[in-house]
Structure 1
């Protein structure tokens, strides 16, 4: 009997096991002893390990942080990494978000696609290999993560105690294969405001944006003006001339300026309209007196403006695998003492952090602007001829009859959390993604197809 026929025998069990884990509300919460991410996450991990044990696998619970099901012998192992924690369910569900109900061949519920359904598919893929007694040269671990939606801190715990797999994949993204993920930085650029703005118009505050990795759709500033009426007139003319959505409110001599833009993800800032940079453009047009705040704003207008690739800043890295660096101005916060802007730069997969930060720092020289709160996630990249990539391409093409195109993305997946793995499914090209949305679902036929693909992938990597 071949692998696919064996997987088909498990269809009812795959569905039942998926329903069991989806029915548990595993949103991360405050930790308790032995339950570092809360009661619900702990229940989901225990349930996954219980299912694994019933299927005949050795199971390990690493102090509630992470668990795994293991099969086979030897020192080296192939890893399949998925997570059992989910984002909050939100509103507007037509079926209960933890009901795991089946309608029209789909299981509905939070986590059905991200990642509970796919990791159960991988578990049953390994079960098919086990039942068929196919020979393996390496162990296989199905690793159940518990904190992916809140920083993947559990994988640090795992890496400190376990050696990495020699190869593997995570069903936490899209098919065919994501072989490259850009380096991601999030940090603040800060300037102390010692030389104050004087004159007829002064800037009291600026605030805007939600997070560094989102194009800000709103920015507000408070301007003190001796002639508020004339200032409002200048702002209205600027707004009409540039096609910006700017509104003003006047109370005494304080003019509140409100700029509305359009949000987009920080990995694709070109798709948004940056309200913070529109505000900076407006303030730069008012010919305010020289001061630390205006030096900062003029610096951004000169070297960033509405560019989203870092060209004028001197960091316009680009490669054929993943395209251009993306440069997003995400938030601004300014008071009398300092101004801080949060940036999200994502650099191409074949470059290193130093390739980006060295020219970035050079541009800051002599400006009094400093970097604070730097967070960097290095790129993930496998050459197209890497054995892991070739093996997964072979499996995908054989099981779907379609070309296994290689994808490089600006976002980050769970694959960055453990060496030697890539993102591989579970969402097929052209199919809708309901991840993090109301009415998240997984099609039962795709659960089974994923189990077939993952079984063949595991066997190919571990045989």
Structure 2
């Protein structure tokens, strides 16, 4: 059987029922990283471990060689050869947050859409890529290179799992991660998070900030925010909040119990690499509170969020804005806010930056901008920008297959999101979303169109075979 004689979409369709059954198995596992339950046997919590083991078991069932690396990561292997092609996916998911209309871990198909946490990021695309490799094996197609389908367990946080894997296993010679969009992602911006720390003094104003909390992860736009305030004038806050809600794109609630006021704001979640697609509840809450009299470090906490972080997806107010001709502009998302009058406060500002700037430069720019406030700025080491030229044979092959199967004109793309593709010198991200797909990654009611997953499976199968035959 030759490549030209294979109807890849028809072959994918034959496997649809089995594919969905296996995908449902993985989607039903709550694989959010949970350090509070981490053990030596489950280094990022029991959920990612269970999902990894379940995926590897599927590989063994289908006759592949599967190996688990201390429950940090694993791989499913096929073929032989001096070169190794890597296909890198992840089994962990971001926290569910609020606003779901279905159980996020009870997958359901409605009107052709598969709803579940992880359906699009990244269990659905990962399973499509696995089935693509299985298709090549089922058809008995000859391969001259080794294929390693590699699974990580904490891609949504620190990448410790895949780093542990690469400490003992060689980096693949080339490959892709099915964790983004078609036609290709051959450039990924750098990724660094600035931690802004404040002390907990809140004395000196008409209103005393007791607690402020918003956000689940640095790489998510916060959907919910809540503040608890002790107030000498609760009605001032109450009246002001209704005015604020009347002309802002958020909803919320304010309740009063004696002198204790609780304010909640609801915005819209989005992936932290595309903050303009979300509505940051945390900065909106700070913007509302900034019009009132607060004192001490609490005042600085509120003012920094309101003046330098609110409605600023390009980082202009923070002083870090930068644009590169190839990689585009820097994006900035404040994903986590925490303040406690006894423990102090912290904000985590996640930035995806292009070539032409650096972590050192960004850190200096932020410190200069907020120097009048009592805030400490720290930037843990992040990830530098990654780019594979458009004339690389890997990129050309993937684009050719995409064009052949879709009839669409392919082009290079650079994103702010980070994928495992950047772990390989010749590594890219490839699907599974299409240009007309609706992006619900990291949002409530995450879904992936079943047709998109099946089309991605067919593209993956042909592309992988073209690269390893």
User: Same-fold call, TM > 0.5?
Assistant: yes
Is this contact kept in 2: 1:60–1:68, CA < 8 A? yes
Q: Find the aligned partners of 1:88 and 1:283 in 2 and give their Cα distance.
A: 27
Alignment of 1:124 with 2:129, yes or no, is: no
1:2 corresponds in structure 2 to 2
Change (3 A) 1:191 1:166: same
Q: Distance in 1 between matches of 2:211 and 2:304?
A: 16
2:173 is aligned, of 141, 166, 171, to 166
CA distance in 2, matches of 1:92, 1:461: 40
Question: Is 1:190 aligned to residue 197 of structure 2?
Answer: yes
Judge conservation of contact 2:191–2:352 (CA < 8 Å) in 1: yes
- The alignment status of 1:45 with 2:56, answered yes or no, reads yes
Q: CA-to-partner distance for each residue in 1:414-444, whole Å, 9 max, x for gaps?
A: 324555321112333324568785776634x
Which of residues 74, 78, 84 is equivalent to 1:70?
78
Q: CA RMSD in A?
A: 4.2
Gaps of 5+ in 2: none
After superposition, give the CA deviation of every residue in 1:17-55 in whole Å (9 maximum; x if it has no partner).
5356335345449688877754553233122133143xx
- Does 1:133 pair with 2:142? yes
CA shift digits 1:94-135 (9 cap, x unpaired): 99749xx9x99999997672421332113323665xx3436x
Count of equivalent residues: 443
Query: How far 1:191 moved relative to its partner?
Result: 1.6
- d(CA) in 2 for partners of 1:234, 1:108: 39
Could you state the TM-score of these two structures normalised by the residue count of structure 1?
0.77
Higher CA-based Rg: 1
1:285 to 270, 291, 301: 291
Q: Give secondary structure in 2 for the equivalent of 1:67.
A: strand
- The whole-number CA distance in structure 1 between the counterparts of 2:54 and 2:245 is 57
- Describe how 1:190-269 pairs up with structure 2 within 5 A: 190-193=197-200, 197-198=203-204, 201-211=206-216, 212=218, 213-225=220-232, 227-229=233-235, 231-232=236-237, 235=240, 239=244, 248-252=254-258, 254-256=259-261, 258-265=263-270, 266-269=272-275
Give 1:442's aligned residue.
Answer: 450
Tell me, in whole angstroms, the C-alpha distance in 1 between the residues paired with 2:6 and 2:241.
Answer: 69
> What TM-score, normalized to structure 2?
0.76
Instruction: State the shift of 1:197 in Å.
Output: 2.9
1:79 aligns with 2:86: yes
Contact 1:325 1:345 (8 Å CA) reproduced: no
**Is the Cα contact below 8 Å between 2:228 and 2:262 reproduced in 1?**
yes
1:327 aligns with 2:338: no
Distance 1:88 1:120, change over 3 A: farther
CA separation in 1, counterparts of 2:244 and 2:68?
59
> Contact (CA 8 Å) 1:246, 1:257: kept in 2 or not?
no
* Matches of 2:238 and 2:42, distance apart in 1: 59
Query: Is the counterpart of residue 428 in structure 1 residue 444 in structure 2?
Result: no
